Amino acid sequence: MLNRLSLRVRIFLFFAALAVGALIALGVGLTLGYRRLGSPETLDAFVQGGVVAAFAIVGLVAWVWYLFDVNVAKPIDILAGALRARAHADVTGEMNAAIARYLGDLAPAATAAAASLSETRNALAEAVARETTRLTDEKARLEALLSDVPVGVLLCSGDHALAFYNGQAVDLIGAGSAAPGLDRQVFDYLRQGPIQLAHERLMATGDPDAASDLLCTTVNGARVMAARMRLMGGDNGAIPGYVLTLRDVTADMASQARREALLAEVFDRVRRPAANLATLIEVIPEGSAAPGRLDTALREEVLQLAQAVTELSRRHDESRDDGWPLTMTRDFDLLEGLRARIEADGLGVTTTAADLLLRCNGFEIIALISGLAEEMGKQGLARDFDLQVQEDGTGGLIRLIWAGASLPMALLDQWLERPLEPGLSDVARRSVLAMHATEIWPETLPDGRYCLCLPIPQARRVVRRPAPIARAVVYDFDLLSKARNAKVQDARLDDLTYVVFDTETTGLLPAQGDEIVQIAAVRIVNGRRVDGEVFDTLVNPRRPIPLSSTEVHGITEAMVQDAPFVEEVAARFHKFAEGAVLIAHNAPFDMEFLRRLEPKLGLRFDHPVLDTVLLSAVVYGQHEVHSLDALTHRLGITIPEEARHTAIGDTVATADAFLKLMPMLAGLGLQTFGEVVGEVRRHGRLLKDLN
């Protein structure tokens, strides 16, 4: 029990016990003396003397305790905090030995120990730097290689959290939505079904070198991508992570469709005039087309032209059957892409797969069927659809089913003559049917519903696992092997993801109508601040900004005039902070502004919260000043003058302070989030704990 009390409290209790003991001894002595004397007339004298002596004893003990507290206990606490900062947070400033002038050689010894530790650290850092230079160069080369590869690369943990992404991946999955972020779910950017199914499929093979090709789409259905997944890790019984390479086939297939349409049009236009020219030459009597040998040469050239056009047209038609656009695509992936496109148009859809591999151009089939569904929605024929894939002999059958009005064949023919995509004006939907050697037609089902039937001539059941392919690059990332714990209370501090944030406001009284004018946040993942993942925006408060507030944070009404309102910003911040522990300096103030928006947003800011004010009190004691300036000064963190009292400047300073406090908390034996919160609640006199 006493071990949980601070040094100053224990010393106070010691002197209090000493005073109580002295008073008891005084009382016992006076009582025995009075009884032995046996004179009632001396009772008042004994009482008065006892009271005076008691006050003298209490005063003397209190005075000695105060001197001991100020000159011994408090300096020891300060000295311990300074040593802990140098031991765990790599603070290098000189220690103030004057505060411990009554502690004999303790302060000089502590200063010498800190200096020796600093020298040892510097020597060790130089040795480590020399030994790791080669690894750093290799890492830089690997990062350059991965950033320059022409495909997007994602590395995900076994629970589908992003551990790495390159620039191409940002362009592919971040377009039109939030940019990817470390430790976020890949399903925030790509449709869940195909990726999760491929992951489960690869784990079921039991082959660590197996790979799986899949077709996936962005969550908004804007892009269709060809992907390849390969497992990584999975040691010690953990769920293996995976590498996902992405290639945008939307643009590739659109370009291919244009070339195919152009070639088909060329052959269609040339074939008929060549045939007519050959027929015309045949009906003209020999020798009358041109004199002598010129007539013979003319007939031979016309015949060769007709034969060449016929041969090239035949070879082009054959190449459609084995060209790269027609690949084996899983029906589940195809249906997920269709679902994304159809739902993006505001229509409802359910899907039923048959576990088939369809030989088709996934982009064209998705564009064709989703386009027809959109046309039906615009015509008012249907708003909800049921997409099914069925086995049909040696092929497959895609059926788009709806309840409502029937689709006339004439109207379907009109829609098939329209462009496949808005950006493909020269590629008609009907060309997709020609490419796949198939047709599409409407039918009436026995239950009274209607459907569009699209046969795919070649399909097969999924029976074989992917063949393993040798890997050329191996790399190790801590996030892939990080053991995760669903319970935040039991999680180690360095295993959690944090979002450190700060707000600037119109004033200090949210209950009286003050509003946020700026909010900024940074993310801490795996014990480091991620430079590229920053949330920073001005906010239109819908009210004047007092001059006194502008003098503090420098934000004027003109600066926020065109800024988004707080409801939009708060919703975006909630998404940015999803799954993370929130950290702020004086968190109750900032959280009150956010939590009062919960009824309007329909969201709850129920994240776990840590306050660096309380963490500073845990490390340095409540007697210290715990302002952000004081804390950063103690930790050797410099806040540029121009950044102080800006949301992003204070956020970065708070994040850096927290990163230095983490090892100091560990040095106190506080390893998990729950242990830290339990210790924080002992300092409730400073601020309210929000957990």
Catalytic residues: 645
Q: Enumerate residues 6+ apart whose C-beta is below 8 A from 371.
A: 415, 418, 420, 421, 429
In angstroms, the CA 311 to CA 317 distance is 10
Of residues 215, 175, 177, 174, the one with CA closest to residue 193: 215
The tokens of 653 are what?
């300073």
For 583, the enclosing helix (H) or strand (E) is strand 581-584
In angstroms, the CA 446 to CA 412 distance is 21
Of residues 390, 362, 355, 359, the one with CA closest to residue 463: 355
Residue in the block written with tokens 């600066």: 559
Of residues 102, 256, 662, 207, the one with CA closest to residue 470: 207
Three-state SS at 275 = helix
Neighbours of 75 (CB within 10 A): 21
What is the dihedral sign for C-alpha 605, 608, 614, 620?
Answer: negative
Write out the E strands in 207-366: 211-217, 224-232, 241-248, 327-330, 348-352, 356-360
Of residues 535, 300, 163, the one with CA closest to residue 153: 163
In angstroms, the CA 478 to CA 228 distance is 23
Of residues 514, 530, 537, the one with CA closest to residue 646: 537
Neighbours of 640 (CB within 10 A): 10
Contact in structure between 221 and 371 (CB atoms under 8 Å)? no
In angstroms, the CA 575 to CA 569 distance is 10
In angstroms, the CA 96 to CA 79 distance is 9
Contact in structure between 498 and 236 (CB atoms under 8 Å)? no
Tell me the sheet residues that pair with 536: 520
Contact in structure between 561 and 517 (CB atoms under 8 Å)? no
Phi-psi region of 487 (alpha: psi -120 to 50; beta: other; left: phi over 0): beta
In angstroms, the CA 321 to CA 315 distance is 10
Q: What angle do CA 682, 683, 687 make, to 5 degrees?
A: 135
Rounded (10°) CA dihedral 529, 534, 540, 545: 40
